[in-house]
Chains A and B, each alone.
Chain A
Amino acid sequence: MNLSLSAIVMLIFGSFVLYGGLAYFLYRAFKGKKQ
């Protein structure tokens, strides 16, 4: 059995918002500390 297209879309959407968002704000935090 393979994942359906809609499940893959949800997987990418969830990962992008949560982990992409987290990485971006952690980057901002570290950049702010350096300055």
Chain B
Amino acid sequence: MAAVGSAIGLGNVWRFPYVCYENGGGAFLIPYFVALFTAGIPLMVLEFSVGHWARKSPPEAFKKIGKKWEWAGWWTVLIPFTVAAYYVVVMAWCFSYMVYSADLRWGLHAEQFFLKNFLGVTSNPLILGDIRIPVFLGLIAIWVCIFLILYKGVKRIGKVVALTVPIPTFLLIILTIRGLTLPGSIEGISYYLTPNFSQLLDANVWLAAYAQVFFSLGLAQGIMITYASYLKRKSDITNNAIITSLADAGTSFLAGFTVFSVVGYLSASQGISIENLGIAGPYLIFVTYPTAISLLPVAALFGVIFYIALLTFGIDSAFSMIEPIISGINGKWKITKAKATAIMCTFGFFASLIFTTGSGLYWLEILDHFIANFGIVTIGLLECLILGWGFNLHRFREHANKTSDIIIGRWWDVLIKFVIPIILVILLVASMLDNIINPYMGYPWWVILVGGMTPVVTIFLLSFILMKIKGKGVKT
């Protein structure tokens, strides 16, 4: 359940529908399913198997595989912790918007409200601007929540996810039903689902599908290794991995209906074509969706429901990003879970502050772009190479088969050793070339260097430093 909660997050609601629409609508589902079954589920089984076999945090699990690989474990836990620093800020925005929904504070100009009144976006990333008080207060609330959930360990996580997985799913279903009953919704759904099969011949569509599966499932971030280490000895690894993957993909598919039914309604009521409505990234949930909500009867109620759904979807993912590093610190330096949680939440809070300023949106977009395209993909590749080539991969297959009804064959080894690494290398090279030819969002090179490359390189170096610092053993 915790792994399902971790995999399902804000990205399912805003990223999948957009990527699907950009890459051939319904036709995108075909490469998406191929990617899910050839990369997503096999890697999920691998991470579950590693965590369940090692029964330790990712750094210790990699150390158990080979002492020289401990740094790779630290890298996998540092990346999600960095992501959490800005992910929590987006949750703080949702928190403020949940309050604003009560009186529809964005009025008739949702874009202007979001960028100027709410975020106070500055003219360029160098001008930091003020800390935005509503975002700052939301940030404190979210970090305190994360601390309270994590400091008592895995038992409390279990209790929290028993609520935060079904509640937002239920709310999403309510919103979808409401969306589908709106005039114009069918146009939106048609836009989402009508396949453009000619795009199946485009390599970029296949790359987008693999990237979407990879990021959405939360792979290569130490999260699944950590959660699998808490599973009971007799837990069915393969079945758990498949359920987690399908639940995540199913939520994305459902979110497409929630979003596009409302987008169709907005398009019909404002007389603007769907192509001209902003549906990418934060704009979808902080500009397009609020505009649509304002047009609904009982608007405040649906606004509050929507942002509660986002907050509850997001909180599982947020604390799952912090749990691996806490588990790593707890394992290596004998620091109790409560103390490690307090240290990392305080660290995370201060790291998040930059994103609460007027230039926060710029830095958030740049960091997210580099972490997602380079940080996570590189770890995924490393994970396949270290576990596939630096260790007897069949031992993980046999470990999974020992606990599972579904028996995995040698084809799984081929996927982990050859197919997935080749796809990830292509993804990485394509991403690098694209970034060299078209600098991200036209930012000057020094902004990309400071906001994107520096954190990725720092995390890489920090992994080696953490490996070199002497540990003290395990204390729970």
The residues of A with any CB-CB pair to B shorter than 8 Å are: 1-4, 6-7, 9-11, 13-15, 17-19, 21-22, 25-26, 28-29, 32
Q: Tell me what chain B mostly uses at the interface: helix, strand, loop, or mixed.
A: helix
Residue pairs across A and B with CB atoms within 8 Å: the count is 62
Flag if A7 contacts B194 (CB, 8 Å): yes
Write out the residue numbers on chain B whose beta carbons fall within 8 Å of the beta carbon of A21.
Answer: 242, 246
Q: Is the CB–CB distance between A3 and B193 below 8 Å?
A: yes
CB-based contact A7/B193 at 8 Å: yes
Tell me if B26 and A7 are in contact (CB < 8 A).
yes
Among B182-190, B392-400, B445-453, B464-472, which stretch is in contact with chain A? B182-190
* Shortest distance from the beta carbon of A1 to any chain B beta carbon, whole Å: 5
Contact of A7 among B189, B240, B249 (CB under 8 A): B189
Roughly how many angstroms separate A13 CA and B32 CA in the complex, as a whole number?
12
With A18-B250, A25-B243, A28-B239 known to touch, is A6 a contact of B26 (CB < 8 Å)?
yes
- Cβ-neighbour of A25 out of B190, B193, B195, B246 (below 8 A): B246
For this complex, 8 residue pairs linking A to B, each with C-beta atoms less than 8 Å apart, are A3-B189, A11-B193, A13-B29, A17-B33, A18-B253, A28-B239, A29-B243, A32-B405
For B240, list chain A residues within 8 Å (CB): 29
Question: Number of B residues contacting the other chain (C-beta, 8 Å)?
Answer: 23
Q: A10-B26, A10-B195 are in contact. Are A3 and B190 (CB under 8 A)?
A: yes
In the assembled complex, the CB of B247 is this many whole angstroms from the nearest CB of chain A, namely 6
State the CA gap A25–B319 with chains docked (Å).
26
**Interchain CB contact (< 8 A) of A32 among B187, B194, B239, B246:** B239
Which residues on the B side are within 8 Å of A7 (C-beta)?
Answer: 25-26, 189-190, 193-195
Main secondary structure, interface of A, reads: helix
Bound Cα distance A18, B257 (Å): 14
Q: Which residues between 241 and 257 of chain B lie within 8 Å of chain A, taking CB atoms?
A: 242-243, 246-247, 249-250, 253
* B193 CB contacts on chain A under 8 angstroms: 3, 7, 10-11
CA distance A10 to B25 in the complex (A): 9
A4 to B253, CA, bound (A): 18
Residues 433-468 of chain B, each 1 if its beta carbon lies under 8 Å from chain A, else 0: 000000000000000000000000000000000000
In angstroms, Cα B247 to Cα A9, docked, is 21
Residues of B within 8 A of A2 (CB): 186
Q: Is the CB of B26 within 8 A of A25?
A: no
Chain A residues, Cβ within 8 Å of B189:
3, 7
Beyond A3-B194, A6-B195, 19 additional pairs, beta carbon < 8 A = A1-B187, A1-B190, A2-B186, A6-B194, A7-B189, A7-B193, A9-B26, A10-B26, A10-B29, A11-B193, A14-B253, A17-B33, A18-B249, A22-B246, A25-B243, A26-B243, A28-B405, A29-B239, A32-B236
Residues of A within 8 A of B246 (CB): 18, 21-22, 25
| Across-interface contacts of B186 in A (CB, < 8 A) | 1-3
Measured between beta carbons, the chain B residues less than 8 angstroms from A15 are 253
The CB with the most chain B CB atoms within 10 A, among A2, A11, A21, is that of: A21
Contact B190 A22 (CB under 8 A): no
Chain A nearest CB from B105 CB (Å) reads 34
Q: B26 touching A22 by the CB < 8 A rule?
A: no
A19/B190 contact (C-beta < 8 A), A10-B195, A14-B29, A29-B243 known: no
| CB proximity of A13 to chain B, nearest CB, Å | 7
Complex Cα distance A17/B243, Å? 12
Smallest CB–CB gap between B5 and chain A, Å? Answer: 15
Distance to closest chain A CB from B417 (angstroms): 26
Complex: chain B residue closest to A33, CB-CB: B236
Smallest CB-CB separation from A6: which chain B residue?
Answer: B195
Q: Which residues of B contact A10 (CB under 8 A)?
A: 25-27, 29, 193-195
- In the bound complex, residues from chain A placing their C-beta under 8 Å from that of B405 are 28, 32
Ranked nearest first, the 9 interchain pairs of A and B with the lowest CB-CB distance are A10-B26, A7-B193, A18-B250, A22-B246, A7-B194, A10-B193, A21-B246, A25-B243, A25-B242
How distant is B23 from chain A, measured CB to nearest CB, in Å? 13
A13 to B30, CA, bound (A): 9
Residues of B within 8 A of A6 (CB): 26, 194-195
| Chain B residues in 8 Å Cβ range of A19 | 250
Assembly CA distance A10 to B189 (angstroms): 11
Smallest distance from the beta carbon of A24 to chain B beta carbons, Å?
9
Closest chain-B Cβ to A4's Cβ sits at a distance in Å of 6
Taking CB atoms, residues of chain B closer than 8 Å to A18 are 246, 249-250, 253
